[in-house]
Amino acid sequence: MNWRRASLGVAAAFPVIALLAWGMTRDPKDIPSPLPGKSAPSFALSVFAPGQQPLARTVGDTVRLADLRGQVVVLNFWASWCLSCRDEHVTLSAVARQYAGKPIQFLGVLYNDEPVSGTAWIKEMGGQSYASLNDPGARTAIDYGLYGVPETFFLDAHGRVAYKQTGPASAQVLARVADSLLAAAEKDGAPTKRNQ
């Protein structure tokens, strides 16, 4: 046994071990979005599913992000073929209803799907409290750097992306983020519009 060489061999092992050890502190599924903190990509999309009172919108109307300035916007990308979207559907629908009357807008955006299938899905799921928009060619989804569905973007009253949720959103996350954004909007006195 040549101990000098042996210790060189041992030393060679350390970078690999260090890399793997460091890797243990990371979560590979946590894919950061570069958007939070940046101004949200604008969109103008037409309503295909009206939602229910008091959050209903008219089918065919165009919703522009610019028109929503001063309100918190919760943008949920979903699809009828997406199974996790089923899981979060009830939660989203209920939370949106709870916040009715506050300066916050919940909007669904259909991703890579036909409005007909989307409408049928909403019917099958027992309705949805807020309206959903059609995104032909997935242009808005691409602007938002969608990685999969469901993903939910929270935009603050200034139209900046404040938070992104990958995967189904829980009621806790929705309420926590919505409350903090509403409080921030209240505090810095952004010109808020009331929900209709």
Query: Least distance from C-beta 126 to other proteins, angstroms?
Result: 16
Q: Is 17 in the site for other proteins (CB under 8 A)?
A: yes
Q: Is 20 in the site for other proteins (CB under 8 A)?
A: yes
136: cis peptide before it, omega within 30°? Answer: no
Neighbour count for residue 52 (Cβ, 10 Å): 15
Q: Transcribe 47-89 into DSSP letters.
A: EEE---TTS---TTPEEEGGGGTTSEEEEEEE-TT-HHHHHHH
Q: Is 27 in the site for other proteins (CB under 8 A)?
A: yes
CA 28, distance to chain mean position in Å, is 19
Query: By rule CB under 8 A, what string of x and - marks binding of each residue 32-61 to other proteins?
Result: x-----------------------------
Q: Is 29 in the site for other proteins (CB under 8 A)?
A: yes
Q: Is 2 in the site for other proteins (CB under 8 A)?
A: yes
Q: Is 66 in the site for other proteins (CB under 8 A)?
A: no
Q: Which candidate, 126, 184, 181, places its Cα nearest to that of 155? A: 181
Query: Least distance from C-beta 89 to other proteins, angstroms?
Result: 13
Q: Is 94 in the site for other proteins (CB under 8 A)?
A: no
Q: Is 12 in the site for other proteins (CB under 8 A)?
A: yes
Number of residues that bind other proteins (CB under 8 A): 28
Q: Transcribe 108-134 into DSSP letters.
A: EEE-SS-HHHHHHHHHHTT--SS-EE-
Judged by CB under 8 A, the stretch of 13-21, 44-52, 158-166, 168-176 that binds other proteins is 13-21
Judged by CB under 8 A, the stretch of 19-27, 53-61, 167-175, 179-187 that binds other proteins is 19-27
Measured in residues, the chain has a length of 196
Q: Are 57 and 63 in contact, with CB atoms under 8 Å apart?
A: yes
Neighbour count for residue 15 (Cβ, 10 Å): 9
What residue ranges bind other proteins (CB under 8 A)?
1-3, 5-10, 12-13, 16-17, 19-24, 26-29, 31-32, 81, 83, 86
